[in-house]
Structure 1
Amino acid sequence: MKVVAVSGYKGHELGIFNQKHEGIRYIKKAIRQRIISLIDEGLEWVIISGQLGVELWAAETVYDLQTDYPNLKVAVLTPFLNQEKNWNEETQEYYQHILGQADFVESISKKEYENPTQLRMKNEYIIQKSDGLLLLYDEEKEGSPLFYLKPAKKRQAQENYIIVMITPYDLELIVEEEREAQQDFW
């Protein structure tokens, strides 16, 4: 797999409302583990749409990994122009910081937001441009990731399209591993 799309919940869907939340560290660690295993299988590009939450945390994770894997690249394919326009100033600055480090940035629709069709088109476009999807998702808690999962499953039914999930159980394992490591330390 050379190109993977990465998505998952928006921060608020996870009860995360700032960048200092402890849960982000565990989510990034899970993303890091999956990305490294995909690099070993030939991963070259990570695509996100610039959505707040898991997608931007994934970009930060890839930027950290680029020290050891300099050929790994990030593409941000936003659904429409100026998607951050109505975000608060701090969030816009964070978003611009992430975009500023990307290897490729482009808006799929060359217009500003008009209707939800642009979001659906973005999901379908990114699934078509990738070889697989890495998704943080809990099948018992629907939310925004479902809009990526549906076109990914449709494509998977037609051809070899890989879907890699990060589940709540995966995150629990990471939390447990860290707790055990801290206990061993003391």
Structure 2
Amino acid sequence: GGALGADTAAFWCVHIMKEKYPYIKNIVALPFESQDKKWSPEQQAWYRKMLEKADEVIKVDQIKNYKDNTVPTGEYTIEKLSR
């Protein structure tokens, strides 16, 4: 999910493990693109670095079955986090 805390720690652990196990994929499934909007500049920089290093980034709120038509794609709603 790319959120602060466990998501970020798990990402970097997998990133390190890829040296020994290059066949594993590090995929980030973002609930919405602007989730880092209220984070500090340092947190945002690490977030962007994580997205650059990911093998794949999935923007969940762009997937048909997960769209929330009441809020623009890429913007926050609590429902998107639940999905």
1:63 aligns with 2:25: no
Structure 2: runs of 5+ lacking an equivalent: 63-72
**Structure 1 residue 115 displacement after superposition:** 2.1
CA RMSD of aligned residues (A): 1.1
Q: Select the structure with the greater relative contact order (CA < 8 A; seq sep ≥ 6).
A: 2
Match of 2:82 among 97, 120, 123: 120
The AA in structure 2 aligned to 1:73 is: K
**Structure 1 residue 114 displacement after superposition:** 4.1
User: Relative to structure 1, is the Cα distance of residues 114 and 99 closer, same or farther in structure 2, using a 3 angstrom cutoff?
Assistant: closer
Partner of 1:77: 29
Secondary structure class of the residue paired with 1:109: helix
Larger Rg: 1
> Contact 2:32–2:75 at 8 Å: present in 1 too?
yes
TM-score by structure 1 length? 0.38
Indicate the structure with greater strand content: 1
Summarize deviations over 1:109-166 as a string: whole Å, max 9, x none: 1313342111111xxxxxxxxxxxxxxxxxxxxxxxxxxxxxxxxxxxxxxxxxxxxx
Q: How many residues align?
A: 73
Distance 2:4 2:43 in 1: 9
Partner of 1:104: 56
Indicate the structure with greater helix content: 1
TM-score by structure 2 length? 0.80
**Aligned residues: percent identity?**
30
